[in-house]
């Protein structure tokens, strides 16, 4: 499922410059729309007999985005760096597809990074042009990522980075995976180099939870990074989907 970020920092959606020099907030909105559009492909491994839980898949997808952003191949003169820059200069599109069996094995043969959760596996690839997907990925299904949690996830531990989902929106697991990835990326852009390194050393520890309505209302005015969806799939344009509650950002909000 796709997720296209009209992604902004600053609570109610005001675009403000991020700490990171790689932030797309340094570019005017119109310029981002006019730039060639790229997409970040994510493939989730879903076998019929043993699918991952929904929360595990969401958290693993968010970490996969961070792992790619923090990879040396995505920075400087790395082999993926130009593709990542081109992608971040435009809208930050992410598309989640599913694979199993031979499809998954073929997907794993392409250059990318597989990130493991408790049981979930998500492979993230360097960005590709919107109409330039590798054939092994282009034929994978977008639908069919409807995952469930057999029991409510435990409350996140104190000090954990939490990506809070809007309790008023219903999203498929694939859509929510893309939105969680957007929120993780917004938090990454806002962090200093030292804060990024600390997060990386933790294995990009994070939790994805649905906020209680009263918490969501408080978070909306907190100044923390907020994702607003472009509305191409499932939900209305401008919908606030996820807020990234990182302790370092909360201290500055």
Measure the CA–CA gap between 171 and 177, rounded to whole angstroms: 9
Dihedral in degrees, nearest 10, Cα atoms 237, 243, 249, 251: 120
The continuous run of DSSP H or E covering 84 comes out as helix 81-89
Q: Cα–Cα distance between 89 and 159 in angstroms, integer?
A: 32
Minimal CA–CA distance to 142: which of 92, 108, 99? Answer: 99
Question: Between helices 54-70 and 173-190, what is the axis angle to 10°?
Answer: 40
Q: How far apart are CA 212 and CA 156, in angstroms?
A: 13
Tell me, what's the pLDDT at 125? 98
* Measured distance CA(206)–CA(193) in Å, rounded: 18
Side-chain half-sphere CA neighbours of 81 within 13 A:
8
Angle, CA 209 vertex, CA 203 and CA 210 arms, to 5°: 160
- From first to last of the 253 residues of the chain, give the pLDDT tens digit: 545 554 443 333 333 334 455 655 444 454 666 778 899 999 999 999 999 999 999 999 999 999 999 999 999 999 999 999 999 987 889 999 999 999 999 999 999 999 999 999 999 999 999 999 999 999 999 876 679 999 999 999 999 999 999 999 999 999 999 999 999 999 999 999 999 999 999 999 999 999 999 999 999 999 999 999 877 778 888 899 999 999 999 988 7
Per-residue pLDDT, 4: 53
Question: Model-level pTM?
Answer: 0.89
Is residue 213 exposed (0-12), middle (13-18) or buried (19+ Cβ within 10 Å)?
exposed
Identify the residue whose tokens are 């005001």.
Answer: 14
Tell me the C-alpha distance between 72 and 84, whole Å.
Answer: 12
Q: Which two tokens stand for residue 140?
A: 């994978």
Nearest to 184 by CA among 160, 148, 168, 167: 160
Q: What is the pLDDT of residue 32?
A: 60
Return d(Cα 163, Cα 215) in angstroms, integer.
Answer: 12
């Amino acid at each position: 499922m796709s997720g296209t970020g009209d992604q902004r920092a600053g609570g109610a959606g005001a675009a403000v410059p991020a700490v990171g020099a790689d932030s797309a907030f340094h570019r005017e909105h119109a310029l981002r729309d006019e730039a060639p559009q790229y997409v970040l492909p994510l493939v989730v491994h879903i076998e019929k007999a043993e699918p991952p839980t929904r929360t595990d898949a969401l958290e693993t997808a968010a970490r996969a985005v961070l792992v790619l952003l923090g990879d040396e191949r995505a920075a400087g003169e790395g082999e993926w760096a130009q593709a990542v820059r081109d992608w971040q200069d435009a809208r930050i599109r992410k598309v989640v597809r599913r694979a199993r069996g031979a499809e998954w094995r073929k997907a794993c043969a392409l250059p990318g990074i597989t990130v493991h959760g408790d049981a979930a596996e998500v492979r993230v690839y360097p960005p590709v042009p919107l109409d330039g997907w590798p054939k092994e990925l282009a034929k994978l299904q977008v639908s069919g990522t409807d995952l469930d949690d057999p029991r409510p996830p435990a409350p996140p531990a104190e000090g954990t980075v939490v990506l809070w989902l809007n309790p008023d929106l219903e999203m498929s697991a694939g859509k929510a995976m893309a939105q969680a990835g957007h929120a993780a990326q917004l938090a990454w852009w806002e962090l200093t180099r030292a804060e990024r390194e600390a997060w990386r050393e933790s294995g990009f520890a994070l939790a994805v939870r649905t906020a209680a309505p009263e918490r969501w209302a408080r978070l909306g005015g907190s100044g923390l990074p907020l994702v607003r969806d472009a509305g191409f799939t499932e939900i209305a344009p401008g919908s606030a989907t996820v807020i990234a509650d990182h302790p370092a950002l909360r201290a500055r909000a």
